Amino acid sequence: MNKIMMIFKRESAIIPFVAVIVGLILGALIMWIGGYDAWLAYHSLITKIFGSSYDIGEAILAIVPLIMSGLAVAIAFRSGLFNIGVDGQIIMGSLGALIIGTQLSLPPFIHGLAAMIFGALLGGLWGALVGYIKAVRGINEVITSIMFNFIALYISHYCIRIFMPQAGTQRSAMIHDSASIQIGWLSELMGGARIHWGILVAILAVIFYYIYMKKTKWGYELRAVGYNNHAAKYAGMKVPNVIIRTMFISGVFGGLIGTFEVLGVFKYIAINSVTSGLGFDGIAVALLGGNSAIGVFFSATLIGALTYGSQGMSFGADVPGEIIRMVIAFIIFLVAAPGIVKLIVKPIQQKMKKKV
């Protein structure tokens, strides 16, 4: 019990917790000012998330890509890099999965696994290219990665239109059934929710991230470079290698998101003029989660659940879904400005000390 209390006494745990509570209160205040019933809105939100097995499954579906995106951003943050190009890596991952899923004929399971691996590698190589330009040429990764988002988008469009079009539509051909990673029996059990093996992969990715960062030599080097790359270089670490390797792993996480969407959810790629935006959501997830494995998991769960549940607010309480985006923004703002949270928490801590 004492160990549990010590965890909650740490600022790293207190600040996000208080930020969530205050964010929800501010959201309720805005709803009240707008003439909405905040209690009914939050009740509708919770009901939407947990109202049925289908809703639980779809909420999980919304959480999975945020976990992966948060990990992609977090591992780059820990090395002192800002990977704002996760969207591009998602696109390359989805393109790789689509190529294998439509152009090859393989046995069921093997086909999906091969498509996932190829998509992940393609996303990783796309991220590693940004890392190489940073490490060798010294060009800021923010500039190159955000430009690579649009390069990836139009490469994807070109490949779909030339090699994998669906006649008369603005999308690609469907993948073969053998390439699907949906879990059919579990989807049926959960009312038709689009449950896929990416859920298990996301959990394994969180475990991998923790072990890699805390228990391996490469993780130690990554953290050392993030703290001070000059000191890391002086200590004999090959900083360019660390940068490229980190961006490759970050890209793999992003690429896997694309494979999940193609192989487990939509079964095709739509030709859109903009990227998904999941990479930018990952920045919020990583920031709220403090770039830690468990933090990213819980922050992705929170943001994913709130985003999915906002549909219930719209239908159940006639509250605009954008209110939840404001709540999330409040939470991120408070985490990014911990001094405000400390001002709120300090009087409470002082009262608790007096009682003791």
Instruction: Calculate Rg over the CA atoms of the chain.
Output: 22
Higher pLDDT pick, 350 / 291: 291
Share of the chain above pLDDT 90, in %: 67
**Residue type (1 letter), 216:** T
Overall average pLDDT of the 326-345 stretch: 80
Q: Is the pLDDT of residue 8 over 50?
A: no
User: What are the structural domains, with CATH classification, of the chain?
Assistant: 61-304 (1.10.3470)
Is the pTM higher than 0.85? The answer reads: yes
What rounded mean pLDDT belongs to the chain? 89
Lowest mean pLDDT among 84-98, 182-196, 236-250: 182-196
Task: List, for residues 230-259, the tens digit of each pLDDT value.
Answer: 999 998 999 999 999 999 999 999 999 999
Task: List, for residues 278-330, the tens digit of each pLDDT value.
Answer: 999 999 999 888 899 999 999 999 999 999 998 888 888 888 888 888 888 88
**For residues 121 and 255, is the Cβ–Cβ distance under 8 A?**
yes
